[in-house]
Structure 1
Amino acid sequence: MNPQRAGCARADQDVLVVLFDEVQSLDVTGPVEVFTGATYAAEAAGRPARQGYRVRTASLDGTPVRTSSGLTLVPDGALGQGPAPHTLLVPGGDGTRSRDPRLIDAVRELAPHASRLVSVCTGALLLAEAGLLDGRRATTHWMFGEKLARDHPEVRVEADRIYVRDGQVATSAGVTAGIDLALALVEEDLGRDIALTVARHLVVFLRRPGSQAQFSAQLAAQTAQREPLREVQQWITEHPASDLSVSALAERARLSPRHFARAFRAETGTTPGRYVDRVRLEHARRLLEDSADGVEEISRACGYGTPEAMRRAFVRNLGTGPAEYRRRFRTTTAR
């Protein structure tokens, strides 16, 4: 991909979205809303008319398709008709697993003419079938990461990522991750101010970094059934720098430490200590990615106490220290 800086946006970017039966509707409409919203935002900001996106949809024969949720989408035309797109976007859904040779051939023929190739969710399976991910890093919905790796060993699958960018190819995880990736592309093309305007309009975060895991600590663990334990889970998330020892958390839940530890594990599937560790690690990663705070300040804000304690947690879980993690993140997002 060729990064574009604010004020140097590429003109007239044509986005073509591939439609097929049993496509996931949100994989289509999420990115479409982002790109369309960016065009409106650019116009409202007084940008030149050429700084925006033309979004088109196309199916194999130009006929309507039925999504996996039962909605009917009417495409603008047939694949192969019209100008070559700047961005070719392949969404996911049950239809990607049919391995329709006509659809795969159409994507394979279109891809070399596009400057940017994007997939959402299991759209990566179609790209892989077309041989377009060979030798590249890629991700997909967490349920299909193993399948992608097994069926296409030539693809370097990073199944825990929200999205992965490798050259002119970008792949994202399931459903809402397509919005994250689309916002990242808008920020690259038109600048942070336009991307932020779109994110605010859609009431989503401007950027969940691609390196973020598909599951947060709250999603990876089960939600406790009993209200006191659910309140403790929320407290941990909101107060990572507090005393989060078993005894302190048990007191908050109004249980004995032994009873609390047993109940927490039984209802969430993990121990209190492991849950706390993951929450603190996630919080530290976000601060390293999104703030200019130093490692010492971040270690205190996340409850590690010392930079060395945070460094050990990073090395143990991510294989690298905090400073190197920040450097890699900034290098990746600057591409």
Structure 2
Amino acid sequence: MSKRIGILVYPRFQVLDLVATTVFELANIITGKALYQTTLLSEQGGNVISSSGVPVASEAFGQQDFDTVLVSGWMEPVRSTPGFNDFLRAASAASRRTASLCTGAFLLGQAGLLDGRRVTTHWWQARELQHAFPKARVEEDRIFIKDGKIWSSAGMTACIDLCLALVEEDHGAELSRQIARKMVVYHRRSGGQSQFSALLELEPKSDRIQQALTYAKENLRKALSVDELADAAHLSRRQFSRSFRLETGQSPARAIEVLRVEAARAMIESGNHSIDIVARESGFADPERMRRAFVRAYGQPPQAIRRAAREAAAA
């Protein structure tokens, strides 16, 4: 039996959130079964103008028998109407899951669905969300969060990660992986992963420096000398060192440490590996060097981050 997915839209909603429908569409195509049926819903029905000016057709609020309710986000702040809030509350109560995409979390809050819940949103709006809904627990550096029947995702393309997780919960990891491959996206960022990426933060300008950084990220267990990175970039050592600092504002050694810390934190937050194993797999020579790098990057040692991750999971 198909699971009915209701996606709530409104004037000026973020049109990128409609990529969520592709995840469910591909689940149907890959399996050859009607696993999901998606419906766009709005208060008045008819065409709804998105943030980009592109209109989309929608059905008016009515029946509430949805397996999952998704609330789209916005580019500019919107205020939901009493009718929107009433429908969202009723539909959420009747559904198995309710999820916000990006800044759609504000609309969950306006409907009174965030009290006592862990929630995330686009990092740019996270503190405003916490201020607006102080009874919620906003975690601004998460890709997505599941708290009971309430799910929420970070900004923009993080809606794909959330929807892949929904499919995985319903039909297993293998189908979710196949969908990710079809969509040419990474399968899949874990909910606890940071919204930020070291590679994005470094922002290399040339393909050669990008190639060296990609090589480094894929080979963190190696020593990764400047000569090895220069070879990966097909540059001389002198050219590489000069170009690297000009493009990223950092030395190669500092950038590699940032990549290692990011990889180590992901392992610590998403698994039960010992600190010794994490240090080895992420390329630190020993746990003490990793501890010092964590303190420089996050102001706290790996053990504190592990405790925080476990407490969040328990909550």
Partner of 1:7: none
| Letter of the 1:12 counterpart | S
| Aligned counterpart in structure 1 of residue 285 of structure 2, from 273, 294, 305 | 305
The separation in 2 between residues aligned to 1:157 and 1:246, in whole angstroms, is: 40
Whether contact under 8 Å (1:314, 1:322) holds in the other structure is: no
For the residue of structure 2 that corresponds to 1:92, the secondary structure is coil
| Letter of the 1:240 counterpart | L
1:106-255 aligned at under 5 Å gives the runs 106-223=87-204, 225=205, 229-230=209-210, 232-244=212-224, 254-255=237-238
Partner of 1:4: none
CA apart distance, 1:65? 0.7
| Letter of the 1:280 counterpart | R
| Aligned counterpart in structure 2 of residue 26 of structure 1, from 16, 19, 25 | 16
| Aligned counterpart in structure 2 of residue 98 of structure 1, from 78, 88, 98 | 78
Q: Which moved more, 1:285-294 or 1:64-73?
A: 285-294
For the residue of structure 2 that corresponds to 1:74, the secondary structure is strand
For the residue of structure 1 that corresponds to 2:145, the secondary structure is strand
Cα RMSD, aligned residues only: 3.5
Q: Which moved more, 1:267-276 or 1:297-306?
A: 267-276
The separation in 1 between residues aligned to 2:236 and 2:132, in whole angstroms, is: 47
Normalising by the residue count of structure 1, what TM-score does the alignment of the two structures yield? 0.77
Cα distance, 1:249–1:204 mapped onto 2, change above 3 Å: closer
The separation in 1 between residues aligned to 2:174 and 2:45, in whole angstroms, is: 36
Aligned residue-pair number: 309
Whether contact under 8 Å (1:229, 1:253) holds in the other structure is: no
For the residue of structure 1 that corresponds to 2:191, the secondary structure is coil
Cα distance, 1:310–1:104 mapped onto 2, change above 3 Å: same
Consecutive unaligned residues of structure 2, counting only runs of 5 or more, are none
The separation in 2 between residues aligned to 1:239 and 1:269, in whole angstroms, is: 22
For the residue of structure 2 that corresponds to 1:149, the secondary structure is helix
| Letter of the 1:299 counterpart | A
Normalising by the residue count of structure 2, what TM-score does the alignment of the two structures yield? 0.82
Partner of 1:8: none
Consecutive unaligned residues of structure 1, counting only runs of 5 or more, are 1-10
Whether contact under 8 Å (1:222, 1:269) holds in the other structure is: no
Whether contact under 8 Å (1:66, 1:73) holds in the other structure is: yes
Deviations along 1:95-137, whole A, 9 cap, x unmatched?
A: 6x12032433432343222221101111111111222111111
The separation in 2 between residues aligned to 1:274 and 1:202, in whole angstroms, is: 33
